[in-house]
A and B are shown apart, each in its own frame.
Chain A
Amino acid sequence: MKRTTAALIVTVLVVLAGFAASELPSEAERAEPVNHAIRSLADTGAVNAVSAVLFDYRAFDTLGEATVIITTAMIVAFLAPQARASMLSVRMSGIVLYGVVLLLPFIAVFGLAIMLYGHISPGGGFTGGVVLSTSAVLYAVVYSAGGQQSYVLAPATNKMIENVAMTAFLAVGFFGMAASGAFLANAATGIGLGTPGSLLSAGTIPLLNVISGLKVGVGLAIIIISLFLE
C-alpha cells in the first residue's frame, strides 16, 4: 500500500516538473543579456544593486537561503545537549564585564544601521543580522559563566522570533502574489518605489531586509549560543 502511494506521488511530481520544464525560456530569450546592474535602479528603486538582486530579482533564492538558516538552527539547537552549561572555564575579569557593557550598544546600533540601510549602502539584511547575532553571543558568553545563564533574549523568544520572521517572509511573498500574481513581487505590487536613496524607498526590499536580518541574527544566535553553552 505504501509503495503505491509513493509511486503515485512521484508520478504527480514528475508531471508537474514536466509542465515547469516546458515553460523554460527558449534559446533566443536566454541569449538576450540580462544586465541587472543597469536596470536595477529603475526596476526596483534600490540604489544598492546587490540588495536589488538579493531581495527582488532573486528573492525566491533568498527565501531558500533563509530556510537553510532556520533548519540549521533547529538541528543544532536540537542536537546540542542543554544539560550542563559549563561555559568557559575562566571567570570573566572586571575589565571584560564592564568593557562589554560599553561595547554592546554600539555593536547593536551598527548592526541595525547596516540592516536598515541595506538597499542604499552596502551590507543589508544578512550582514546586519550577523552583527546583531555577534552582539547577542558576546552578551551570552561574557555574562553566563559558571552555569548561571543570562541571555539578551531567552532561547524561547529567540526561536519564536525566528518562526515569526520566517512566516513574515512568506507573507510578503504571498502579498506579492495576491497584489500582482507573482510570488515575492516588488515593483508590480503597487507599493511606491519612493525616491531612490530615501530610507523608505524600493518597495518591499527594506521590509525583506529587516525580516531576513532578524532571521539571520536570531538563527545564528541560537546556533552559536547552543554550541557554546552546551
Chain B
Amino acid sequence: MMLNVSVALLCAFLLLVAVYVVVARSVLAAIISMGVFSMLVTAVFVVLRAPDVAVTEAVIGAGLITAFFVIALDKTSEQ
C-alpha cells in the first residue's frame, strides 16, 4: 500500500516538474528543472527497488545531461 502511494505522489510531482520545464520562461530554468526531473525519476526507481537503473539515471540524467545543456546554452547565447 505504502509503495504505490509514494510512487503516485512522486509521479504527480514528476508531472508538475515536466509541465514547468515546458512553460518555464528562461531556458536556464527549464534546464535546471530537467535536472530536478531526473532526480525525481531516480527517486521513483529507488522506490520501485531498481537500484542499478536509479544509479545510472542519477549519474547521467542529473549529471551529464544537465551539464551538456548548460554548456550548450552558454555557447549559443550571444555575447
| A and B: interacting chains | yes
User: Which residues of A pack against B, CB within 8 Å?
Assistant: 48, 50, 88-90, 114, 121-124, 126-127, 130-131, 133-134, 137, 141, 220, 224, 227-228
A114: chain B residues at CB < 8 Å are 55
Bitwise interface map of B from 45 to 74 toward A, beta carbon under 8 Å scored 1, else 0:
000000110111001100110011001001
Pick the contact of B71: A48, A127, A228 (CB < 8 A): A228
Q: Roughly how many angstroms separate A127 CA and B54 CA in the complex, as a whole number?
A: 10
Known: A88-B74, A89-B74. A122 touches B52 (CB 8 A): yes
A130: chain B residues at CB < 8 Å are 56, 59-60, 63-64
Q: Beyond A88-B71, A134-B63: 10 further Cβ-contacts under 8 Å? A: A48-B52, A50-B52, A114-B55, A122-B51, A127-B52, A127-B59, A130-B56, A134-B67, A220-B64, A224-B67
Q: Roughly how many angstroms separate A89 CA and B73 CA in the complex, as a whole number?
A: 12
Closest to B67 in A: A137
**Interface of chain B, main secondary structure:** helix
Instruction: Report whether A123 and B64 are in contact in the complex, using a CB–CB cutoff of 8 Å.
Output: no
A228 to chain B, nearest CB (A): 5
Instruction: Report whether B64 and A224 are in contact in the complex, using a CB–CB cutoff of 8 Å.
Output: yes
Instruction: Report whether A126 and B56 are in contact in the complex, using a CB–CB cutoff of 8 Å.
Output: yes
A133: chain B residues at CB < 8 Å are 64
B73 to chain A, nearest CB (A): 11
Instruction: Report whether B71 and A123 are in contact in the complex, using a CB–CB cutoff of 8 Å.
Output: no
Instruction: Report whether A122 and B64 are in contact in the complex, using a CB–CB cutoff of 8 Å.
Output: no
Q: Name, among B59, B67, B74, the residue most crowded by chain A CB atoms within 10 Å (CB to CB).
A: B59
B64: chain A residues at CB < 8 Å are 130, 133-134, 220, 224
A122: chain B residues at CB < 8 Å are 51-52, 54-55
Pick the contact of A127: B56, B67, B68 (CB < 8 A): B56
Closest to A86 in B: B75
Q: 15 A-B residue contacts at CB 8 Å?
A: A50-B52, A88-B71, A88-B74, A90-B74, A122-B51, A123-B51, A126-B56, A127-B52, A127-B55, A130-B63, A131-B59, A134-B59, A134-B67, A141-B71, A227-B68
Bitwise interface map of B from 11 to 52 toward A, beta carbon under 8 Å scored 1, else 0:
000000000000000000000000000000000000000011
A137: chain B residues at CB < 8 Å are 67
Q: Roughly how many angstroms separate A90 CA and B71 CA in the complex, as a whole number?
A: 11
Counting CB contacts under 8 A, is B4 at the interface?
Answer: no
Closest to B46 in A: A122
A90 to chain B, nearest CB (A): 8
